[in-house]
Amino acid sequence: MDKLSPEQRHKNMAAIHSKDTKPEMIVRKGLWSRGFRYRLNSPRLPGHPDLVLKKYRTCIFENGCFWHGHEGCSRIPNTNREFWEAKIKRNQERDIETQKRLAEMGWHCITIWECELKPSKREKTLKSLAFTLNKIWLEEHSVIGKPYPQLEEESGMLKAAEEQI
């Protein structure tokens, strides 16, 4: 049974969401310290992404594992199970729809799950986020059909090979 009006629930959820802003700060700090610049909560884009990196054509969503139904991660409470299942399913469907719309507009989407920001996983998550962003940048800036710019090591090796011939 769910006795809250939609408006009340919205307020409740907003309070729960904003109470712990820590995961968001971890991502922001991690990106900033690595030289990435972003905008917060872009209201003009579908789904209001948490962070928008225009240079990388990328939207980042920081998802709470429970609300967005992180598979194999969060558990649905036995009390009001059907209600929660329906609610989380709606959120998941909305997430998919949002990412589809953003992709159609030429945006990349990255989802960071709350559990990936636990102290033990944080560094790895931020590292792979930076790696993914750089990869996206390379893809965006290479002409279709053209191979990726060679790594310095590789071109050095090619040169050495040419000199031998």
Q: Which residues pair with 62 in a beta bridge?
A: 112
- Alpha-carbon distance values, 136 to 77, 80, 148 (Å): 38, 42, 12
Q: Which is nearer to Zn ion, 23 or 49 (CB)?
A: 23
Q: Angle at the Cα of 62 (from 7 to 85), degrees rounded to 5?
A: 55
| Residue 125-154 contact track with Zn ion, rule CB under 5 A, x = bound | ------------------------------
Burial of 76 (0-12, 13-18, 19+ CB in 10 A): middle
Q: Which of 95, 113, 125, 129 binds Zn ion (CB under 5 A)?
A: 113
Residues 66-105 that bind Zn ion (CB under 5 A): 70, 73
In whole angstroms, the minimum distance from the beta carbon of 122 to Zn ion comes to: 13
Q: Which residue from 13, 65, 130, 136 is in contact with Zn ion, where contact means CB under 5 A?
A: 65
- In the complex, minimum distance from the CB of residue 75 to Zn ion, in angstroms, rounded to a whole number: 11
Distance CA 100, CA 119 (A): 31
Q: According to the binding rule CB under 5 A, does residue 28 interact with Zn ion?
A: no
Is 115 near Zn ion (CB under 5 A)? Answer: yes
Q: Find the helix or strand (DSSP H, E) in which 62 lies.
A: strand 58-63
Contact residues for Zn ion, defined by CB under 5 A: 65, 70, 73, 113, 115
